[in-house]
Amino acid sequence: MTEIFPEVLISEEQIREKVAELAAQISADYAEVDDLILVGILKGSFIFLADLSRALTIPRSVDFMALSTYGESESTETDGAVRMIMDLRRNITGKHVVVVEDIVDTGHTLSYLLRNLAARRPASLKTCVLVEKPDRREIFTQMDYLGFSIPDVWVVGCGLDWAERFRTLPYIGVVHPES
Ligand code: PRP
């Protein structure tokens, strides 16, 4: 079967440069920290987390959580309710934590996550987001490190999917689910 490739919104080169920039900034900000914990949110963050974590020049470890929005499946709309599917393995109390997300859309997922993690009393809690859609925001969301702001289009690649397709595209592309 022939694969149809989505049109490019953000190129592989632009992503590589941005990841290097974000990693340099985080490495500088946490230069005095001896064990930064990067928390990847599955599934979407796995590629961005892999690239970002390898570009850091400071001691770091990774852990994962899996969250999901109710009412998903192949739909592109969600009702904003979030549930946890898999929790962290590590205790983050007293630790410096950066949550790594592929995308902030309505903001409900990251907002839920930050409330949940803050209750565990980390030494600090920040976020690093690859792309965000400002036009879709329904709730304020803390984004300390941000890659790209994009228009309200359905994007895939670098961990982002459309009904589980295109997650491993090396660039961020646009699909049109209605067509
Ligand atoms: C995506 C993405 C974020 C969330 C953002 O996850 O990875 O976690 O949606 O949306 P929000 O800002 O509207 O809450 P998704 O639920 O699609 O799961 P996935 O990461 O497994 O693809």
What whole-number percentage of the chain has pLDDT above 90? 85
Distance 155 CA to ligand 1 centre (A): 12
End-to-end CA distance of the chain: 19
**pLDDT score of 66:** 95
Q: Which two tokens stand for residue 106?
A: 């309505």
Residues marked as catalytic: 105
**pLDDT score of 79:** 55
In terms of phi and psi (left: phi > 0; alpha: psi -120 to 50; beta: otherwise), the region of 98 is beta
Residue 72 in this model has a pLDDT that exceeds 90: no
Residue 6, CA distances (Å) to 43, 82, 87, 93, 163 in order: 20, 28, 33, 42, 14
104 ligand 1 Cβ < 6 A: yes
